[in-house]
Structure 1
């Protein structure tokens, strides 16, 4: 039986979001944004342990109470300068528990609306996959390529294009090796692709949004409120 573990890289500052407080600690419905990402992972029965990877000089984590997340959560202050470095450091921290064939789910700290249904679908659909994969949604909007003056240079065909989300789920050994050999990608799937493999796309939906700008907080709050009403 293989195990499932999760890593949440949270050492960044969220420069596009703005403000003095890192994006992951901005309040969403009274709690830090990152709380909801961690809660979704800790709640999933198949996930045995969750490592949150923070910057070495993080001063905000200890200002909040995380005890409600339970025993699965482990905190490591070993974040790197990039997402790939933080994930790689998290994988090293997980070496005390994970075997090469175990699954690792890497999830964004700023993607708070992850549902249990999406998590279950990811784990179920990839259970026997030789590579692993990620949650994603087909691109629905028309895509425009801009020139240097921010005018439309051309319209890009959207056929076959998907928008990557997280979690992204790969075997511990495979992901560790891929990130060591190909650290320049913007997500874990990029490293796997650079290693010559083809991750599987598992269909999610737009509610699993990533908070990038302040206006996204309100949208995330509305999604979370709707989820609570459904659960009730």
Structure 2
């Protein structure tokens, strides 16, 4: 285990953790939310909570659940008795805001809040400590991210005929798809081969390359994302007032015009989104020595 993170010389700020896990699959239609899928005979969420719980410098872990969540079992509650449970909201940002509201009476403005995806069970403690040490004297915060290794394309939709389609999108301009948004929304595994929910197309069509992007200018945003308590709360409050939907905490902070630092993390800190991800996570946990080979 790496050394404990250094503390600020100015204040003894605490580190609080929020794990948004309120996605129950209503948007993607799968039977079991991804955070409750079995990974080496344990829920994905259990692996995530265990990793976070092993970091003794963290003050408390707040787990944000859907009000109607019936997957969080008595066994999970018994395994993690010190975790604080809070009811979440409709979207990820609302769930995080609910968690921050719960912490409002416990955290100071300059305390740190570490937000981590429930479906990222392969996070290594070294990455968390690297993030903390990189930001210890920062006034805003930052994120873990990994470099883009493949050639990156922006796509566009080629439609077969006028008025023969129904396009549903809340992504960028003119219905283009975002090829990466790795820290995004909660929910369950999509059907194999299906398009992302953002930018789904209900018609015969094809995706074509619009342009090739400079991969050196792009990063795959991951979690944890670490921000000062008041900075993050103000950013999410502003986003909610303006009906601005964000898929990660950094986007809300960016919208405030504040600088968000990038801290390079491991590329195997994957988020389980597809069945392929689940199989890869099983392999990674073995390679990382978390389970017997």
- Which bin holds the TM-score, normalised by the shorter protein? over 0.9
Higher helix fraction (1 or 2)? 1
Change in CA separation of 1:85 and 1:198 when aligned onto 2, cut-off 3 Å: same
TM-score scaled by structure 1?
A: 0.93
Between the two proteins, the alignment pairs up a number of residues equal to 230
Change in CA separation of 1:231 and 1:4 when aligned onto 2, cut-off 3 Å: farther
Q: Larger RCO: Structure 1 or Structure 2 (Cα < 8 Å, ≥ 6 residues apart)?
A: 2
- 2:112 and 2:229 in contact (8 A); partners too: yes
Once the 2 structures are TM-superposed, how far is the Cα of residue 14 of structure 1 from its aligned partner? 4.2
- Equivalence for 2:40: 29
Judge which range, 199-208 or 17-26, deviates more.
17-26
1:212 to 247, 259, 273: 273
- Equivalence for 1:84: 93
Q: Aligned partners of 1:123, 1:69: CA distance in 2, in Å?
A: 24
Change in CA separation of 1:140 and 1:221 when aligned onto 2, cut-off 3 Å: same
Q: Aligned partners of 1:223, 1:125: CA distance in 2, in Å?
A: 26
- Equivalence for 1:43: 54
Unaligned segments of structure 1, at least 5 residues: none
- Equivalence for 1:103: 112
2:262 to 185, 198, 201: 201
1:155-176: CA deviation from partner (whole Å, max 9, x where unpaired):
1221221110000000111100
Structure 1 consecutive aligned stretches of length 4 or more whose deviation exceeds 4 Å: 14-18, 229-232
Question: What RMSD in Å do the two structures reach over aligned CA positions?
Answer: 2.0
1:154-213: CA deviation from partner (whole Å, max 9, x where unpaired):
212212211100000001111001100024211100011000111110110111010101
Judge which range, 44-53 or 140-149, deviates more.
140-149
Once the 2 structures are TM-superposed, how far is the Cα of residue 36 of structure 1 from its aligned partner? 1.5
Residues 173-192 of structure 1 mapped to structure 2, 5 A cutoff: 173-183=230-240, 184-192=245-253
Q: Aligned partners of 1:22, 1:230: CA distance in 2, in Å?
A: 23
Judge which range, 154-163 or 51-60, deviates more.
154-163
Please tell me whether Structure 1 or Structure 2 has the larger radius of gyration of its CA atoms: 2
Once the 2 structures are TM-superposed, how far is the Cα of residue 19 of structure 1 from its aligned partner? 2.6
- 1:17 and 1:214 in contact (8 A); partners too: no
Q: What secondary structure is seen at the aligned counterpart in 1 of 2:104?
A: helix
Unaligned segments of structure 2, at least 5 residues: 1-11, 158-205
